[in-house]
Structure 1
Amino acid sequence: MERPKSFSGIRHIALVVQKFEECEKFYTDILGMTILRRANNNLVYLTNGCDNLSLGRAAAQRICSPISVDHFGLIVDSKEQLHEWYEYMQFKGVTLLDAPHDHSDGARSFHCKDPEGHVIQPLYHPAISGQTIL
């Protein structure tokens, strides 16, 4: 059997959180995502137009991976845009773990935390930044 056509990327992440309302506010008010659908009082789907983030209230979830995620990245189109996000998050009081820094592959990023403590890496990467999503 041949492998099917490649995946189109990671477009959906589901987080289980105890600070449900705080996390929803962070992802909408700070990161600018919009509510795609509120399934119920314990589950909301957010989007930035091309991706889907599910926030589920911890006590309401039945399925949960026992493996921890180190961090997840949010792609920006340029190094300038990355710096703008850093300054904006600094202004909004987001917990920043480091300052924008260059990687050996030409990428540039920094790390921050959401209210639940998930580490997010805003990232410019020359191989994938600026791609048009069809």
Structure 2
Amino acid sequence: MALEYELTLAPATSVEEIARRALPDPAERPTGTPPLLSAGLVERYGFGVTVLAGREGYVEAATETGRWEWEPAAYVSLTFRMDKFADPSWEVTNMLTIVRRVLDSGTEDAALVLNGNELLLTRFDGESAKHGWQDWWQTYAGANDLIPD
């Protein structure tokens, strides 16, 4: 079993650019043939990473007030796949560090979704918002510091 966190960014930036922003160390950076890049960083960060570009996207997730939808015309997704039974605090801290690095280094609209179901974070028109999974944000030490309100 695994957990997946997906950060969707729009408008689309090249997968190579998102990979550089996410993981600036060339030894860690996802590789492959665009539109799909990947890196197995399980020992270093606790997860594998894929970067995928697409068109006519669709993101749907639960929020504290119901279902949320977004349909970016062109997008890049950054997916973190981690072992459900590993050390989630370490993995999530590493993942949020990368998410913050990507958000801080660009202006794209964004959505962070857990397991294709729970909306954790959005950024539209430069305004970020955490979504009502306060238990999730409080479960991981430092999560609120890494992604401040």
TM-score (norm 2): 0.35
The structure number with the bigger radius of gyration is 1
Give the helix-richer structure, 1 or 2.
Answer: 2
TM-score (norm 1): 0.37
